[in-house]
Structure 1
Amino acid sequence: MVATNIISTQNLDSKQIVGYWNDAVSKIYAPCHNILLKSNFHATAQVTEFGLSELSHIDSGGVDYSRTSHNIRQDQKDDIFISVMLRGVGYFTQFGKQVTQKEGDILIHDSAYPYLYQYPDQYRSIFYKIPRGVLESRIPNLDKLGGSIIPRDSAYANSIASFLNSAYIMGSDSNVMISNDISEPITALLTGCLQKALLGSRDDINMTRQKIILENIKEFMLNHLQDDTLDLKSIAEQQHISIRTLNRLFAEIGETPMHWLQTKRLNCAYQMILSQRSSSITDIALRNGFNDLSHFGRLFKRQFGQSPTQIRTRKQ
C-alpha cells in the first residue's frame, strides 16, 4: 500500500532547523550544496510514495536551493520533477536560463543537472518525482527539458495540476486505501499531457537553448580577446562542444566563429584608439589578440577604410 510521511520543522529548536531541513531535502528531492533559509523559516512536507514515483506537498518559508556539479558527482540522483505552484512564486535556473514559476504554472526540472531554485517568500507546491528511466520510453529527447514552464493558462497545465492535486488528496486521506499500482495511470496521464504541451514548444525550447549556448560562447570569446592562441579547437574545448557544433551555431546567424571574433577585436581596438590616447597602437593591437602589427593594420583599414594612425590623427 501507499506510504505517507509528514516532515516538519514546526517543533524544532531554531538551531536544529538548518541541519534537519537539509537532510529532508536531500532525501525527498536531491542533495544541494547550499540551502539558504530566509528568516523565521519553517516548512512542512507531506511525502507519499506511489510505486517508483513519489509525490510531495510542501508548505515552506522562503528558501534558496543550489544543486551543483559536485552534488551530482556525489549522489548521482537521476529523477525528473513535475511541479505545480499552488501559492507564491519561484525562480528556477537550469542550463543557464532562468524562468519564473507563478501560481498555477507547471515546471519541469532535472536532478541530473545543476540548478538553482529560489523562493523569496512563503510558497506552497506539489512535486511529482519520476525516475528518468520511467519517462525516457514515453518522452523522446528528455534531456535538457529542465527549466521548461507550462503556463497556467494552458489547458494542459490545468490538467496536470488537477492530476497532482487529486493524487495529493488521495495520499493525505487516511480513510482512502491506495495501491502502489496507481502510480502507473498517474504517470501515464501526466506524461500524456506533457507530450502534448511540449510538442508545440519543443522547437522554441531547442532554439532558446541554442541561443543561450551561443551567447555563452560569445561571452567567453569577448572575455578572451587578448588571447592570440584562441582558435576553433580551444573555443570548442572550453565550451565542451564539438568544432562542428561551434560552426553550426554561428552559421545560424550568418557568421563564422573566427570572423565574428576578428570583427569584435577590431571594433574594440577602434574604440581604444579613440579613447586611450596614451596607449600605443602596438599595445592596443596586442591587447586585442593581434601579435602581427602589419596584419592588424591591413585588417583594420579593410574594415574601417583608414589606418589606425589615420583614425587617431583625424580625431585629434
Structure 2
Amino acid sequence: MTLPLTTQTRSLTTIDSAALPARDRFAFWDSVISDHFCPASNRPASDPLAFRARIAMRSLGSIGLSDLGTAGMSSSRSRTAIRRTPLDCFFVSCLSAGEARIEQGGRRGLQKTGDFIMYDSAQPFEIEMVSDYAGKWLRVPRSVMLNRMPHAEAMTARPLSGASPMGRMLTLMLTEAQDLDVGPESPAAQRVGLSLVDLLAAAFDSGTGMVSADNARHAALLDKAKSWILAHLEDPEIDSEAMVRQIGVSRRTLNRIFALEGTTPIRWMWHQRLNRAHELLVSGGEYRVSDVALKCGFSDFSHFARAFKAAFGVMPKTLLARPH
C-alpha cells in the first residue's frame, strides 16, 4: 500500500492517515503499528470509520523516537504473537494528552497525561487507550536498556510522574531530540539517543523507588558479588560455578540476589565488560580493539564486536578512530 501523506526529511518520516478513505484508515494504521512498533492485535475504541492517526518518526542511532497521536484504541500482544514475530526491545511512552491503561508482568498501571510508562515487547501485554491520546514513544533495544537499567523487566507497567524533576527534564529532552536536524546514524544522533536512555534509567530509578535488594543481607551479598566480578572481568573463564565458589553462596542464592535487580550474574558481568571496554576505547589510550577485548574478558573478537555494537550502537573500531 502506498503511504498517504508521507513526508520525509533528513531526520523525520511523517505518516498521516487523513488522506485515506475512512473505511481504510484503521487497517492502514494497524500495519503502521506492526511495522514501526511491534506486531500486536489492535482494535479501535469506537467507530472505525471515525478513526484517524498520525506519526512522526526518527532514529537516533539504535534508538527510535516517535511523536504519535491517534483516536482511542487497544493493543495486545500474546505469547503466540511473540513466538511468531519475536522482537526484543522496550518501549517507553510519555503522554501529552489522554490516558492509557497497561497490564504486563502481573502489574496494572494507569498512565495519565504527563506520565511515562514502559512495556516489554518480549512479554505479553494489554494496552487500552479509551479516547484520543498523543505523546512520544522511545524504542530501545533490550541490550541497550539492560546495560543502563538492569532491572528494566521489573519496571514495566509502573507509571512515572512527568511532574518530578527528572521527569520534567526527560520530557524536555524528548521534545528537543525530536526536532534535532541530524542524520539518524551521525555521531551526534547516537550520543543523544544513548543519553536519553541514561536519563530515562535515572528517572525511573529515582521516581519509582526501586532498590537493588529488599534487606541488608541481600544488599551485602550483592555488593560482595559485584565487587568480585569487577575485580576479575579480565578472566574469560569466569562462570557461575566460579562465582559460587569464590563468593561463598549457593547458586540459588546468587541468582536470587541478582534477580532483585532484574538480571542474572552472567548478564550483569557481560554488561560490566562492555562498559569497561567502552571506557577504554574513549579514554584516548594507545589501544587496539583486540587489546581492549582481551582486557575485558572477551576471547572471541567477533563476538565482542557484535555485542559492543548492540550495546552502544557503534562498532568498537569507530570509537577508537575518533579524536577525543
TM-score (norm 1): 0.59
Q: Distance in 2 between matches of 1:178 and 1:35?
A: 34
Structure 2 vs 1, CA of residues 94 and 2 (structure 1 numbering), >3 Å: closer, same or farther?
farther
Query: Which residue is equivalent to 2:96?
Result: 86
Given the alignment of the two structures, is residue 36 of structure 1 paired with residue 50 of structure 2, yes or no? no
The alpha-carbon deviation at position 125 of structure 1 amounts to 0.8
Matching of residue 27 in structure 1 with residue 32 in structure 2 = no
Partner of 1:30: helix, strand, or coil? coil
**Structure 2 counterparts to residues 93-112 of structure 1, below 5 A:** 93-112=103-122
1:15 CA drift (Å): 2.3
Structure 2: segments with no counterpart, 5+ residues: 1-8, 215-251, 257-324
Whether 1:193 aligns to 2:199 is yes
- Return the letter of the residue paired with 1:124: A
Percentage identity across paired residues of the two chains: 22
> After TM superposition, what 4+ stretches of structure 1 lie above 6 angstroms from structure 2?
204-207
Give distance in 2, aligned partners of 1:203 and 1:127: 23
Higher mean C-alpha displacement, 141-150 vs 185-194: 185-194
**How many Å apart are 1:38 and its aligned residue?**
2.4
Aligned positions, number: 205
Task: Please say if 1:182 is aligned against 2:188.
Answer: yes
Of 123-132 and 147-156, deviating more is 147-156
CA distance change for structure 1 residues 205 and 96 in 2, over 3 Å: closer, same or farther? farther
Task: State the Cα distance separating 1:192 from its structure 2 match.
Answer: 2.7
SS in 2 for 1:91: strand
When Rg is computed on C-alpha atoms for both structures, the one with the higher figure is 1
Are the aligned partners of 2:62 and 2:190 in contact in 1 as well (CA < 8 Å)? no
| Structure 1 residue 205, shift from structure 2 partner | 11
Q: Aligned equivalents of 1:102 and 1:129: distance in 2?
A: 20
For the aligned residue pairs, the C-alpha RMSD in angstroms reads 2.5
What aligned pairs does 1:43-192 form with structure 2 within 5 A after superposition? 43-170=53-180, 176-178=181-183, 180=185, 181-192=187-198
CA distance in 2, matches of 1:186, 1:43: 27
Task: Describe the shift of the 1:204–1:134 C-alpha distance in structure 2 as closer, same or farther (beyond 3 A).
Answer: closer
Secondary structure at the counterpart of residue 146 of structure 1: coil
The alpha-carbon deviation at position 142 of structure 1 amounts to 2.6
Question: Contact 2:62/2:141 (CA < 8 Å) preserved in 1?
Answer: yes
Unaligned regions of 5+ residues in structure 1, if any? 171-175, 208-243, 249-316
Q: Could you tell me the TM-score, scaled by structure 2's length?
A: 0.58
Q: Which amino acid aligns with 1:15?
A: R
